Amino acid sequence: MSLQVEIVHRQGSFELRGGFDAPQGLTALFGPSGSGKTTLVRAIAGLLKPQQARIAVDGAVLVDTAAGLCLPAHRRRIGYVFQEPRLFPHFTVRQNLGYGRWFAGEAKAADDARLIDLLDIGPLLARYPGRLSGGERQRVAIGRALLSAPRLLLMDEPLSQVDAVRKAEILPYIERLRDELRIPIVYVSHALDEVVRLAGHLVCLSQGGFVAAGPTAEVLTRTDLTMFAQRPDAGAVVAATVRRHDPEYRLTELACAAGSLWVPQLGHAVGSPVRVWVRAQDVTLALQPPREVSALNVLTGTIASIGHADPSTAMVAVDCGGVTLLARVTHFSVDRLQLRAGLPVHALVKSVSFPIAGHAMS
């Protein structure tokens, strides 16, 4: 299943223009506040009527303004999870979930038991929303949306209203839904850590324009995208598997296409797939094989591109056997080392780069 969007919509001086195709799985809409993310999802959901658009889910056309077609929201079969849970306070969790099932109408609702198990909300069924934590309320809201038998799930910054502890609680459940449900999920966020952990596909918006779209690992390592290059947490996603653990030094060796990576010891079993987020600030480049250095990870590669990050630094993309890493270096170093596309280099990666749970990104 997939989602196709083409849209032009003006609100005062603001114009949202462009489009994207999203495959099955989780697609993140990323961009700063005011970039058009919420306007876009409201148009997809039917809560806003765009001036020009064509929107289709798995071939079913929801909007085609050129043909005069615009299905009302209740006929689109789209689940919507808002920033706040919006549960009925006088309903129990079971009754709130039942409302989602009722909303499905003649469509076949999701299997209750399977969904309750995926979201781990079985122990909460008899409680009222006022007796739930923020994380529990959001999980119930997700369950209610899914029981409406949606062909598409929209999640509009669902973690923006919860603290870091609750956020860490909810993320694994969203991963489960991403991996086990057979519907596309559009996830709106301006939090890079959520995007890196969850999204297989990434669409970037800025001031109403669609500036990039594609597999997350590829988009994040584009050196021409200043919206990432200027961030202090800019970096690259590396898909890997756990090769072995070293209990003496509390380290874990990961295997990836570029070779081995050592990270602080993980709790994952040997053979488990993981994603590692390697920050650009944790990568140093050398023209010669380094000797007697503290960095545990040295990967050989070729410079793919160099982009401007800010007045003092550049972002260098290095292709290490099919794995692209980013390195933040000064413009002075670019000139002094004569760095350029096609130049062989050695990338020194600090072992402190943090791991991300979940399956390898497709």
User: Mean pLDDT over residues 112-118, rounded?
Assistant: 84
> Are the CB atoms for 190 and 34 separated by under 8 Å?
no
Alpha-carbon gap, residue 63 to 323, rounded angstroms? 39
Which of 130, 131, 121 lies closest to 94, judged by CA?
A: 121
For residues 39-59, give the mean pLDDT. 94
Same domain, 176 and 88: yes
pLDDT in tens, 277-298: 999 999 999 999 998 888 889 9
Range of the domain at 110: 3-220
pLDDT digits (tens, 9 = 90+) for 134-193: 889 999 999 999 988 888 999 999 998 888 888 888 898 899 888 888 788 999 998 888
Cβ 238 vs Cβ 327: under 8 Å: no
Same domain for 155 and 250, yes or no, is no
CB-based burial label for 267 (10 Å; 0-12, 13-18, 19+): exposed
Same domain, residue pair 182 and 78:
yes
Higher pLDDT, 110 or 22: 22
Examine the domain organization and report whether 258 and 171 are in the same domain. Answer: no
330 alpha carbon, distance to own chain's centre: 29
Last residue of a domain, one of 220, 251, 267: 220
- Judge whether 243 lies within some domain: yes
Q: Is residue 346 located within the same domain as residue 198?
A: no
Look at residue 184 and tell me if it is in a domain.
yes
Q: What is the pLDDT of residue 355?
A: 67
For residues 252 and 202, membership in a common domain is answered with no
Task: Decide which of 220, 255, 285 is a domain's last residue.
Answer: 220
227 inside domain: no
Q: Using the predicted structure, report yes or no on whether residue 335 has a pLDDT greater than 90.
A: yes
155 lies in the same domain as 253:
no
Whether 255 and 320 map to the same domain: the answer is yes
Q: Is the pLDDT of residue 351 over 70?
A: no
DSSP state of 46: T
d(CA 10, CA 25): 29
32, 36, 52, 91 from 16: Cα distances, Å: 14, 6, 10, 38
Residue 270: give its domain's CATH number: 2.40.50.100
CATH of the domain at 181: 3.40.50.300
For residue 336, name the pLDDT band (cuts at 50, 70, 90). very high
Q: Are residues 159 and 202 in the same domain?
A: yes
- 32 pLDDT higher than 80: yes
Query: Exposed, middle or buried by CB within 10 Å (0-12, 13-18, 19+), for 184?
Result: buried
The alpha carbon dihedral of 312, 29, 176, 127 has a sign of positive
Classified as helix, coil or strand, 335 is helix
Say whether both 155 and 10 belong to one domain: yes
As for how many domains the chain has, the answer is 2
Average pLDDT of the residues of the chain: 90
CA quadruple 231, 298, 305, 257: dihedral sign: negative
Sorted by sequence, the CB contacts under 8 Å of residue 288 that are 6+ apart come out as 346
Residues in the chain: 362
For the residues 3-8, what does the mean pLDDT come to?
96
Q: What percent of the chain has pLDDT over 70?
A: 94
CA 277/CA 325 separation, integer angstroms:
10
Domain end residue (candidates: 220, 250, 279): 220
Residue 225 lies in a domain: no
pLDDT of 245 over the 70 cut: yes
Which residues, at least 6 apart from 323, have a Cβ–Cβ distance to it below 8 Å? 236, 238, 256, 257, 258, 299
Compute how many other C-beta atoms are within 10 angstroms of the C-beta atom of residue 101.
16
Residue 230 within any structural domain of the chain = no
Specify whether 208 is located in the same domain as 253.
no
Contact assessment for residue 334 and residue 343, using Cβ atoms and an 8 Å cutoff: no
- Whether 169 and 259 map to the same domain: the answer is no
Written as six digits, the tokens of 27 are 């697609």
Q: Which two tokens mark 84?
A: 């706040």
pLDDT at residue 357 greater than cutoff 70 = no
CA angle, 34 as apex, 29 and 36 as ends, to 5°? 45
